[in-house]
Amino acid sequence: MIRTDRVFGVVVILAALAYIASAYNLPQGSMFDKLGPKAFPIIVGAGALISAAFLVLRPDDEPDWPPVPTLLALAFATLVLVAYAYALKPMGFIVPTAIAAGVLSYQITPKPLSAVLVGIGLSVGLFVIFKYALGLSLFAFPRALMG
Indicate whether 143 belongs to the interface with another protein (CB under 8 A). no
| CB-based burial, 131-144: b 16+ in 10 Å, e otherwise | eeeeeeeebbeeee
Indicate whether 94 belongs to the interface with another protein (CB under 8 A). no
Exactly one of 14, 128, 136, 145 binds another protein (CB under 8 A); which one? 136
Indicate whether 10 belongs to the interface with another protein (CB under 8 A). no
**Maximum Cα interatomic distance, the chain, rounded to a whole number of Å:** 68
**For residues 98 and 92, what is the distance between their CA atoms, to the nearest angstrom?**
11
Secondary structure of 36-87 as H, E, C letters = CCCHHHHHHHHHHHHHHHHHHHCCCCCCCCCCHHHHHHHHHHHHHHHHHHHH
Within residues 14-73, the interface with another protein by CB under 8 A covers: 16, 19, 22-23, 26-27, 29, 32-37, 39-41, 44-45, 47-48, 51-52, 54-55, 58, 60, 63-66, 70, 73
Indicate whether 138 belongs to the interface with another protein (CB under 8 A). yes
Exactly one of 14, 86, 143, 145 binds another protein (CB under 8 A); which one? 86
Nearer Cβ to another protein, position 130 or 142? 130
Exactly one of 111, 112, 128, 145 binds another protein (CB under 8 A); which one? 111
Indicate whether 139 belongs to the interface with another protein (CB under 8 A). no
CB of 39 to another protein, least distance (A): 8
Angle at 95 between CA 93 and CA 97, to 5 degrees: 60
Q: How many CA atoms, within 13 angstroms, populate the side-chain half-sphere of residue 28? A: 2
